[in-house]
Structure 1
């Protein structure tokens, strides 16, 4: 299933900047960054549970927010992309 992960982490202090970096690095392990604080992650249900757990341990619930949007298995019809960034197919092989 495709899950959209969005986050807003306060960077008012060094601890917040560290949390922002940690959240971004964790999301990079599971998906593709499509905007600054937005990731598209193709996940199995157990991976989603694990990612949620990991991100919620990092964040400060008094200052930060994280949202998970479950687009499901038939996500292709739920995404319209316009503009400069090229779209990609999360199910294709990713060459690094």
Structure 2
């Protein structure tokens, strides 16, 4: 399943900066960054649950915001990109 993960972490304090790095690292383990605080991920249900578990342990629910959108259908149908698109479709053949 394809998902879109967005987050806004309060970074005025050092603890927020640390949370921001942890959130980004977790997201990178499951997908690819398409904007500074936006990741597109292709995950199984089990991976989604693991990702949600890890992220929920890191964010401060009183200060931060985390949103996960389930994208139904092919990326080409559900995502409209205007401008630069650095997304790599790892399902497509890759030439090395």
Relative to the length of structure 1, the TM-score reads 0.89
Q: How far 1:12 sits from its partner (Å)?
A: 1.0
Q: Which runs of 5+ in 2 are unaligned?
A: none
In 1, Cα distance between equivalents of 2:29 and 2:93: 15
- 1:9-20 map, 5 Å: 9-20=9-20
CA 14–50 in structure 1, closer or farther in 2 if over 3 Å, else same: same
Would you say how many aligned residue pairs link Structure 1 and Structure 2?
95
In 2, Cα distance between equivalents of 1:8 and 1:65: 5
User: Do the aligned partners of 2:71 and 2:78 also contact (CA within 8 Å) in 1?
Assistant: yes
Structure 1's consecutive aligned runs of 4 or more residues displaced over 6 angstroms after TM superposition are none
- 1:2-81 map, 5 Å: 2-81=2-81
CA RMSD of aligned residues (A): 1.9
CA 76–84 in structure 1, closer or farther in 2 if over 3 Å, else same: closer
Structure 1 counterpart SS, 2:24? helix
Structure 2 counterpart SS, 1:63? coil
User: Do the aligned partners of 1:81 and 1:87 also contact (CA within 8 Å) in 2?
Assistant: no
User: Do the aligned partners of 1:2 and 1:41 also contact (CA within 8 Å) in 2?
Assistant: yes
